[in-house]
Amino acid sequence: MNVIILSVHFDQLCLEVFADMGEKCAQPINGVAIKDFAAVFRHKDQMHVHLKNAVPPTSYIVVIFHRPNYNQGMKRLQAFKYELMPDGEQERDMRRFAGSCRFVYNKALSMQKALFEQGKKKFGYAGLCKVITEWRNGDETPWLKDAPVHPLQQSLKDLERAYTNFFAKRADFPRFKKKGQSDSFRYPDPRQIKLDQAHSRIFLPKLGWIRYRNSREVLGAVKNVTVLHHGGKWYASIQTEREVEQPIPEGDAIGIDMGVARFATFDRPLPEFDNKDHLEPLNSFKRHETALRKAQQAMSRKTKFSSNWKKAKARVQAIHMRIGNARRDFLHKTSTTISQNHAIVCIEDLKVRNMSKSAAGSAENPGKQVRAKSGLNKSILDQGWFEFRRQLEYKLEWNGGWLVAVPAKNTSRTCPSCDHVSAENRKTQEQFACLSCGFEGNADVVGAINVLRAGHARFACPVSGATMPPATGTHRSDSDKAPCHV
């Protein structure tokens, strides 16, 4: 699918657009989306526009979606998660396999750290696989033979990926795994996996046939299966690959301003949300905070690792699981609705980790308003902004759309009418009143409008080479004609 983005200056009302896609490639245009925003670039393009019915000139952004009539496909990787129903022996084996993978990961990490302290080069994945063979055949850890070898090797791949993320400054240094936290193991070879959807069962090496709760159909060819333990239950995440038709995006562009008092505010009322211009937050943690505190207090009064302590711990885990499930359900339903009704979604590029840092400071430099900042951090993390953005990104890609992230600076301080930027424009947390032109409105709605304007600019600038308007949140140190990039 081809996308043509034009910034044009209309002198008439009606239009017919013809695109020159090259020899033997001229095809009808599938859709045109027009937005009433300031023009970003005004140079000539390879387009012929026939217009009539003269009206006063207005600046528009025109996004043309064109899909050639030859068949195009794309590969989609998708995971399907199911709750497993193992018998007693299978559950014991899964605990042993997860423990074996955790042992291999921790021992390999300890060996890599020792090599680094000695000034030697660390092992690569191939070298570590040879070490696993020695461990399986050695006298110290013969019980590693009971676990399938492929999941053990996959734990080494996880360690290699952790080192790669650390050196790329995407994550902290790899840490040792602890029993009971993210216990899992992965089968990477689809030839060793058998899926019987008709009878709701799956075959895994050294576990045999295991029944699962068949809540939906698995689509595509199985690539790998990850078995994980969470909240006292075992789950299987089946990753598949399938060929799908190249999707055509539907709908227009929207801007979204994220917040705490309002989970998401749109640049205009949306019919798919009952003509509302915002969504109220779910606040799943806040709803269960009292029950969670009482359960944790009851657990703290029990003797550690006793039977009563384990029962209390299970109650705490159940509450945490309820909180996470409610939040994920809300985020999935919201992101699915948005991705199915809009071709371009513009959001703020929020740095959640920086925004939710503690204000406690240190003994030498104590922080200020620590309690208030702690409550704000709790509310920020309760919203799930990062997970919402992650879901929007892959769902829009599946539907042929785009997610555009723009800097959040000055989005709620810029007037959408005259582009005047001032902190005084925002009278209160909710009210916006421009000091220059007198424009008034809800501050979150103004922020969403500016996010949409900035998204259009960043979407079009790589095509035209033009610069960003003031509402895109450029830094003051940037030059006036610095090019923008998505």
Catalytic positions: 257, 348, 444
How far apart CA 344 and CA 333 sit, in angstroms, is 18
Structure tokens at 337: 């609705």
DSSP tag of 417:
T
How far apart CA 273 and CA 334 sit, in angstroms, is 9
- Are 5 and 34 spatial neighbours (Cβ–Cβ below 8 Å)? no
Nearest to 449 by CA among 406, 400, 392: 406
- Hey, which residues does 450 pair with through a beta bridge? none
Q: Which helix (H) or strand (E) holds 133?
A: helix 125-137
Q: In degrees, to the nearest 5, what angle opens at C-alpha 456 toward C-alphas 452 and 460?
A: 170
Measuring CA to CA, how many Å separate 445 from each of 100, 143, 429, 430, 432? 53, 61, 12, 9, 9
- Are 333 and 391 spatial neighbours (Cβ–Cβ below 8 Å)? no
Show the beta-strand stretches assigned E in 128-251. 184-187, 194-196, 201-204, 208-212, 221-230, 233-245
The residue type found at 189 is: D
- Are 383 and 281 spatial neighbours (Cβ–Cβ below 8 Å)? yes
Structure tokens at 357: 């840092």
